[in-house]
Amino acid sequence: MHELGIVFNIIDSVDKIAIEKNVDSVKKVILEVGEVSSVIPRYVEDCWKWAVENRSQRMKGCELKIIVLKALSYCQDCEETYPTLPSGRKCPKCGGNHTYLITGNETQIQSIEVADPPSDK
Ligand SMILES: [Zn+2]
């Protein structure tokens, strides 16, 4: 299960950002996952709950939100851009297979929410 490795990577990246920004606690991470990436959101969520409690003090209790990005492909024969699912490599317009994936294969951090800094009132 490679999701755990991915989750550790994300946590480490977020942790690094938190250190740079002098943040003590990260509340929420929004992650973009491409529709045809090899990452399965449900597994990521399962790993996440365990990993945030054990990997970093700053990430304890941090919530994860996954946004699935639509996959898009481009056909070089007829210059059509089409949703990769369900057509796959075959262009739905001209039936050609000189196509490539434009987007939908990535896993990236979209944004991070941090806890409010303690006020000294
Ligand atoms: Zn085409």
Amino acid 118: pLDDT: 63
CA of 74 to the centre of ligand 1 (A): 8
Structure confidence at residue 63 (pLDDT): 97
Cα 89 to ligand 1 centroid, rounded to whole Å = 10
CB 97 within 8 A of CB 89: yes
Q: What domains lie within the chain, and their CATH numbers?
A: 3-70+104-114 (3.30.2320.80)
Instruction: Tell me the per-residue pLDDT of 27-83, one tens digit each, with 9 for 90 and over.
Output: 999 999 999 998 999 999 999 999 999 999 999 999 999 999 999 999 999 999 999
User: CA-CA distance, 102 to 77, in Å (whole number)?
Assistant: 15
What is the 33 CA–ligand 1 centroid distance (Å)?
Answer: 26
30: CA distance to ligand 1 center in Å? 34
User: Is 70 exceeded by the pLDDT of residue 20?
Assistant: yes
Structure tokens at 41: 């959101």
The share of the chain scoring above pLDDT 90, in percent, equals: 91
61 alpha carbon to ligand 1 midpoint, in Å? 47
pLDDT in tens, 77-86: 999 999 999 9
* Centroid of ligand 1 to alpha carbon of 14 (angstroms): 40
Give the pLDDT band (50/70/90) at residue 116. Answer: confident
Contacts of 117 (CB under 8 A, 6+ apart): none
